[in-house]
Structure 1
Amino acid sequence: MFLDVVDLRSFYAQPLGVVTRRILGRAVRARFADVQGLSVLGLGYATPYLGAFREEAERCIAVMPAAQGVVRWPSAAPTLAALADETALPLPNASIDRVVAVHLLETTPDAAEMLREVWRILAPGGRLLAVVPNRRGVWARLDTTPFGNGRPFSRGQVVRLLRETLFTPVGWSEALYFPPVSSRWLLRTAYAWERVGGGLSLPFSGVLLVEATKQLHRPVLVRRPAFSQVLEPVFGQGVPAS
């Protein structure tokens, strides 16, 4: 079930949301470090993380699910955001080079169908960056943030879902090691939590970031023949004379 876009915007306007955007934005940017001349699409509620790509990408647009709602983005320029069904995107085949999906996989009713639509619009060699709540993290257990709503994922679940929809995972990151608490003192220590958690590769991050590339060929299933027994000829038995 999708969160309302008003609630998402309200979260990112609060001090906890501001720190979340800065820390997670660095992780997103680290995975898509070079988008020079590429087309970038943000899906779900990805606008807090798209600003870093606007000046570098050939074009950068956002599509928000119809069940969620849409807000104007950017606020002080011609709008680059649209409202659409996430399983029927109003984009041509193979027209996008990079997709950033945030607040989407865990809330969409049919994640597999949505990923098949992303596969359709991605160009050959295109890449998807999916940001999902970590099932083992604290953020997925508290519904005080958007990451505590919907279905959290383990690494194995994300891998299976991507492979079933013809994507190959090629890179992983984790972020949001600090607890989702609005204490000012705790927020001041958030960057220290990130350094320690990332440096020690602790398994309790708030979110998983998985980068996947589009497979160009559908795997072919090899089926056994209906009759697997091999029949061998029998010699020495002639046809009786008439």
Structure 2
Amino acid sequence: MRFDIDRLQTFYASPMGRMAQEMIAKRVSALWPSAAGLDVLGIGHAEVLLEPYRAGARRVISAAPDEQGALRWPDEGRSLAVLTEEDRLPFPDALFDRIIVFHALEEAESPNRLLREIWRVAAPEARILIIAAHRRGLWARAESTPFGHGRPYTRTQLNRLLEDAMFAPQASARALYAPPINWGIITSAGEAWEKIGRFAWSGFGGVLMVEALKRLYVEPGRSARGRRVVKVPEKQRSSARVDKKRS
């Protein structure tokens, strides 16, 4: 059963959930400090990660899968949250410049279809940020949390999924080094756990983040995983059209 909005709300209202949310949000802000003038989309349960961008972005929308559910967001003013089928996003092609995917890929019925749909609504040269449970971390084994449900990933697995969906991985990061235990001595020291974890066991963060760039050109005939980016000169494309007409 999918970790639904009620359970997500309960978890993120707990001391452990608040600590996890804060550590992840700090890493996202470090990767993407600004989205001024851009169109930003969150998929899954991304509202808290979208909040810092509302003031400067041109548009901010949070989209949640029907099976997960959603609450009104923000609390005041016009709602920016929508429910949607995960492989049929209700947006036109090439709209969003930045897309954050959080608590979505792990429990998606088809991760490949979800990523291809994200590719469709991403603008040319758009950047997406996948945030998923890390297979090597402790949080992927904590079934009382949303990170312990669905498919956890390694960086290699995420990179392959992204490449198959015509995204080019650019950077990666990890977060959530504190153990998933709801004890005050742990949840009150999240920042200390992050600093120690990055130094002592950097490969075992509970959450994996991969930033990727939308690709537009691929060489026909190659498998998705082995594709090479190719740009065809305008002159060559024009000549091809003329030859086709002559034939």
Is this a same-fold pair by TM over 0.5?
Answer: yes
| Deviating more after overlay: 167-176 vs 198-207 | 198-207
Matched, 1:196 2:196: yes
Report matched runs for 1:86-235 at 5 Å. 86-200=86-200, 202-221=202-221
Tell me the alpha carbon deviations over residues 12-59 of structure 1, each in whole angstroms, 9 at most, x when there is no partner: 111111111111001111111221100110001111211111112111
1:201: Cα distance to partner?
A: 5.5
Structure 2: which 5+ residue stretches go unaligned?
Answer: 224-247
- 1:71 maps to 71
C-alpha offsets along residues 85-116 of structure 1, whole Å, 9 cap, x if unaligned? 01000100001100000001100010000000
Q: State the Cα deviation string for residues 136-166 of structure 1 (Å, max 9, x = none).
A: 0000011011001100001111111111110
Work out whether residues 2 and 108 of structure 1, in 8 Å CA contact, stay in contact via their aligned partners in 2. no
1:204-240 deviations in whole A, cap 9, x for unaligned?
Answer: 10010000000011332269xxxxxxxxxxxxxxxxx
1:61 aligns with 2:61: yes
SS in 1 for 2:61: strand
Counterpart of 2:160 in structure 1: which amino acid?
A: R
CA distance in 2, matches of 1:50, 1:2: 22
Instruction: Give the letter for the 1:150 counterpart.
Output: G
Instruction: Read off the aligned partner of 1:95 and give its amino acid letter.
Output: L
Instruction: Please give the secondary structure, in 1, of the residue aligned with 2:202.
Output: coil
Name structure 1 gaps, 5 residues minimum.
224-242
TM-score computed with the length of structure 1 as normaliser: 0.89
Alignment correspondent of 2:236: none
TM-score, with structure 2 as normaliser? 0.87
Higher-Rg member (1/2): 1
Query: Quick check: 180-189 or 161-170, which moved more?
Result: 180-189
Distance 2:93 2:197 in 1: 40
Deviation string, structure 1 residues 180-218 (Cα, Å, up to 9, x no partner) = 111011112221110111234621100100000000113
In 1, Cα distance between equivalents of 2:55 and 2:186: 33
Moved over 3 A (4+): none
SS at match of 1:34: coil
What code does the residue aligned with 1:58 have? R
| CA–CA separation in structure 1 for the residues paired with 2:135 and 2:190 | 20
Task: Give 1 or 2: higher helix fraction.
Answer: 2
CA contact (8 A) 2:19 2:188 kept: no
The one-letter amino acid of 2:11's match is: F
